[in-house]
Amino acid sequence: MINLNRTLIALFLSVFVISECFCLNNEVESTNEINKQDSETQEKVFILHAPITDLEEFRKFVQQACLLKPFGSVQINISTLADKGSHEIPEGRNFWYEYASRNPTPYKFYPDPKIAPFIPEDFVKKNRELLLAKAKILKEFGIDAAFWSYEPNFLPDAFFNEYPEIMGPRVDHPRRNNEPAFAPCINVAETRKMYENMVAELLGNVPEIKTFFFKTNDAGSGICWSDWQYVGPNGPAHCKGKSMGERVALLMNTFQEGARRSGNEISIYLTGSMFSDEEKADIYKHLPKNCYYQSHNSDKVKAVSSLAVSHFPIKGMLDPLDFVRDVHSIDDNDNTIFISFRASYDRGYERLDISAKFLEMFSKYFTKGLINNESNELETLKQICRAWAGDKDSETLYNGIMALDEANAYKKSALGRISAIYWSVSTRHVTRPLVFAPGLLSREEEAYFMPYVFNPSENEARMDYTDIHGGHLTVEEGVVDQYILKLKEAIRLLEGVSDEAPESKLINDLAKGLKIYGCFIKSAGNFAEAQIIRERNKSKVEMGPNRPGKDGDWTGDPDLQRFNTVMRKELDNTVELISLLENGGMNFINHAETPEAEDTFLLGPDLIDQLKAKRKIMLNHWTDIERYLATPLK
């Protein structure tokens, strides 16, 4: 067995941040030095995360994770909810609550008696059953558990009506919902007692949990008077004088006390959360023993993930260069390695065939020492290309991967703010019809997409194609088209690898997944371009349908020609996506299993039918623009 360092390794990645931190036995006044000494004597621990609810799939995932056991201790996060908390989402357009509806927290498994009356019993029962079943499977394979959480998580209004003295800060985002949400104040003794009770019961029932890691000051959670709460610093007056370090220390010590009551020891991780630089420094200064703050210890932590994390809702792709960069970023001094197969907000996870290959390659390159940079990245990539494509096609595959890297670099620099989840999914660009006058669509025509468009105002959701989660964003003209050209070149090369290649399916899946991803990004670009044209003609749109003048010319209104071009691009893009999905592409989409489970961040299982409806509606409204802008008259 390779002699490797040990500290807990936890897993968490999101569209916004990678959450990492670790804990060791140490005294507050000597946190840094003791952590350094301990990390030199302990072996690695890997914590994996995939929000799987099907137990047979979870068992297969655990079997895959066993490949890492020769290199250290392995833990798997088991705090995934059995289903989202639909009861938490107020009626109306309250999309911030959609963010948080799958957030795990101890009270959704073992609620304190004060909280229990305000949480549906059946919801808690199903979550607890899933948690215990996963813990049992882990025990069979000799793997420990971890528990990821958002703390302090918001609580129902009815709870604060009963216990108003416990109410802490407002934590929601005012531009993303119409109903406020509040978290409990950690400075109140009753709050700490509740958390202590819940952690004690959680660990008493699931002693396999060795790590408790949590995130605060983001969707669903928050600490009083934090500089970066979405609504600004706020909370009850009685705790305003406390420093952020004191508040976080109080919360961490509460978790530790709950663990001690259960007779267990856990490591506490504060993971990537939204704090100002001053708050970060103060948090670090006040860390209790056994607690680490990721922001200050990330030199000992590495995070690796599959493309399902960054390319949601697309799954089923494995980019060897992305993988190589992950493994080459790890060295012997890294004590924590997060391995994430978790898609956005627990809305999905990587396909099991890809996670299996990922972990197989990970363990292989660990064994060979390549993980310690014994060869450079491109040499390692060439080795993988020879293994995947054979000598005959290894150069073609290598060139395809390098072309993909060029496309990715261009996207990062020119389209950094465009992502499939926020632009294409939560705005429903991918399924909604692109038309010049969306106000002319009937309620029936809007019914399949409008309820899911992320915007607290239905009118803004209807009329502003590029209102992205409260901000009006733009895309420079031509950059999406340029990215797609680069992506197509990479796909062309990948498809040039022979079907006789040892890993031809893996290569073909990468190419097909990239085609589907390209369609999502093209939708984002087309809607952005369309919105610019619509805004340029805002006065004509607001005036309503109006027959243009009868003066003849050879071109008509130039914006009519431009918009027709954009509409046609999106229509053709929709047809292409339908074809891809009908030919096995749905296996590349993280989507809801039932129509009822579709939500803002999760496309429906009837995606193909929705795309066909989009095409039909676009054609039915193809000439709407001619009621606003002049056509050619020759």
- Stretch among 14-23, 365-374, 532-541 having the lowest mean pLDDT: 14-23
Residue 267 confidence (pLDDT): 87
Mean pLDDT, range 184-198, rounded to an integer: 98
Q: What is the pLDDT of residue 540?
A: 86
Mean pLDDT of the chain: 90
Q: What are phi and psi of 119, to 5 degrees?
A: -120, 130
pLDDT in tens, 261-270: 999 999 888 8
pLDDT at position 370, please? Answer: 64
Q: Pick the residue with more confidence: 56 or 297?
A: 56
- The mean-pLDDT minimum among 56-70, 283-297, 501-515 falls in 283-297
Q: What's 631's DSSP letter?
A: P
The pLDDT value recorded for residue 18 is 34
- Say if residue 47's pLDDT is above 90: no
Can you read off the two tokens belonging to residue 35?
Answer: 């952590």
Buried b (16+ CB within 10 A) or exposed e, 57-66: ebbebbebbe
Q: What is the largest CA-CA distance in the chain?
A: 87
Whether pLDDT at 339 is above 50: yes
- The whole-model pTM stands at 0.90
What CA–CA distance (Å, rounded) separates 541 from 437? Answer: 7
Reading the block at residue 609, the tokens are 């039918």
Q: Name residues whose C-beta falls within 8 Å of residue 613's C-beta, 6 or more positions apart in sequence.
A: 448
Strands (E), 118-254: 144-150, 167-170, 182-184, 209-215
Q: Which of 60-64, 285-289, 291-295, 361-365 has the lowest mean pLDDT?
A: 291-295
pLDDT band for 25, please (50, 70, 90 cuts).
Answer: very low
Whether residue 172 has pLDDT greater than 50:
yes
Residue 179 has pLDDT above 90, yes or no: yes
**Distances, alpha carbon 28 to alpha carbons 7, 31, 284, 379, in Å:** 18, 5, 9, 44
What pLDDT shows up at residue 292? 80
Helix axes 277-285, 244-261, angle to 10 degrees: 40
**pLDDT-derived band of residue 543, with 50, 70 and 90 as boundaries?**
confident
Say if CB 388 and CB 501 are below 8 A apart. yes
pLDDT of 593 strictly over 50 = yes
Q: What are the helix (H) ranges across 343-501?
A: 352-368, 377-414, 443-446, 458-463, 479-495
Question: Can you list the domains of the chain with their CATH numbers?
Answer: 28-374 (3.20.20.80), 400-627 (no CATH)
Phi-psi category of 217—alpha, beta or left, where left has phi over 0 and alpha has psi -120 to 50?
Answer: left
Q: What is the mean pLDDT of residues 172-185?
A: 95
Residue 575 to residue 578: CA distance in whole angstroms = 5
Q: What is the pLDDT of residues 141-170, one digit of tens each?
A: 999 999 999 999 999 999 999 999 999 999
Mean pLDDT of 404-430: 95
CA distance 591 to 531: 27
Distances (CA, A) of 63 to 139, 265, 341, 342, 360: 12, 26, 15, 17, 11
pLDDT of amino acid 278: 94
